[in-house]
Amino acid sequence: MTGTERRFISVPRLAGIGGLVHGFGRAGWSEADFLAFAASRGVKPVIMRQLHSDVVHRLDEAPSAKLEGDALMTNKSGLLLVIRTADCLPVLIVDEANRAVAVVHCGWRGTEKRILEKTIMAMGEAYGSKPAEMLAALGPCIGGSCYEVGPEVRDGFLRAGFPEAFFALRGHVPEVHVPRQSPRQSGQPYNLARQGREQDRTKIWGHVPEVRVPLLKPKFLLDLRAANAWLLCELGFKKGHIFEPGPACTHCEPTLLSYRRNPHDPRRMYNFIGLKP
Ligand SMILES: [Zn+2]
């Protein structure tokens, strides 16, 4: 690992574009390190308050107040667009032809709201960007083997038009076996209220030896990166224009930060893209 690789991960194809500065920060790269790096490149970092929303900001100059949202785009030099992550997917977008860039925060909430699609559409309107000519870099995020979500997340994605292929059922659905047993049979003290309930149940379940009740809701594993790569291809991105640098999973890779692995660690990784003045 070179000095640069220890601080952040970059994509050779993007590094070859003149005037472009980009990267996906690692765990050991502090905010102070990041700000010093930005200053050394002559670019002004724009750090939002991230909300897991689908709010996209178009920047023509550095904002005067802290912005709230989850995507930034610009075609102006001198700004460094930033997304901070620990498990969520950071996406960098480049339109070389129109010299425009964007950064997008894709957690499960933003992905379900199709924030990546909304950013690409906004770049089309603002800069005339065409998906078939654009480049995308999907940074490290929590991997498809580690990102457990509930059935409500899967339901939301299906409603938003995502294929179910991005969800794997985690293990089996456990059941608890409740023996059908009256208080009298088990020798427990008899109680009139319980007696009433027991009679009702016997009426309904009289012929069933035991009742099976699901103990836990099913859990799924979500492949966040694959879901967003699919969205890009649906929009017209070429597969060869989608880059996935760095380790496959923040949760498994010790040089990256993972909220799921360590929820008490307040640090975040700095992911950035901008045009040098
Ligand atoms: Zn993992």
Distance 147 CA to ligand 1 centre (A): 8
Residue 183 has pLDDT above 80, yes or no: no
- Tokens coding 232: 């890009």
Instruction: Please give the average per-residue pLDDT across 49-76, as a whole number.
Output: 98
Distance 89 CA to ligand 1 centre (A): 13
Q: Is pTM beyond 0.75 here?
A: yes
Distance 140 CA to ligand 1 centre (A): 11
Instruction: Please give the average per-residue pLDDT across 178-203, as a whole number.
Output: 45
The pLDDT confidence band at residue 209, using thresholds 50, 70 and 90, is low
pLDDT at 156: 97
Do residues 241 and 14 lie in contact, with contact meaning Cβ atoms separated by under 8 Å?
A: no
Which one-letter DSSP state was computed for residue 162? -
Distance 168 CA to ligand 1 centre (A): 14
Distance 252 CA to ligand 1 centre (A): 4
How much of the chain exceeds pLDDT 70, in percent? 82
Residue 250 has pLDDT above 50, yes or no: yes
Distance 248 CA to ligand 1 centre (A): 7
Distance 223 CA to ligand 1 centre (A): 11
Instruction: Please give the average per-residue pLDDT across 178-194, as a whole number.
Output: 44
pLDDT at 215: 61
Helix (H, G, I), strand (E, B) or coil at 95: strand
Distance 148 CA to ligand 1 centre (A): 10
Residue 121 has pLDDT above 80, yes or no: yes
The per-residue pLDDT of the chain, averaged, comes to 88
| Structural domains in the chain, sorted by start | 3-147+230-275 (3.60.140.10), 175-214 (no CATH)
Residue 194 has pLDDT above 80, yes or no: no
Distance 31 CA to ligand 1 centre (A): 25
Q: How far apart are CA 105 and CA 83, in angstroms?
A: 6
Return the beta strands (E) in the chain as ranges: 8-9, 20-25, 44-47, 56-59, 71-74, 79-85, 89-95, 100-106, 135-138, 148-149, 167-169, 175-179, 210-214, 220-222, 242-243, 269-275
The pLDDT confidence band at residue 48, using thresholds 50, 70 and 90, is very high
Q: How far apart are CA 79 and CA 46, in angstroms?
A: 7
Distance 158 CA to ligand 1 centre (A): 24
Q: How far apart are CA 255 and CA 238, in angstroms?
A: 30
Distance 111 CA to ligand 1 centre (A): 19
Residue 99 has pLDDT above 80, yes or no: yes
pLDDT at 207: 55
Distance 260 CA to ligand 1 centre (A): 10
Distance 212 CA to ligand 1 centre (A): 33
Q: How far apart are CA 192 and CA 169, in angstroms?
A: 44
pLDDT tens digits, residue range 257-275? 999 999 999 999 999 999 9
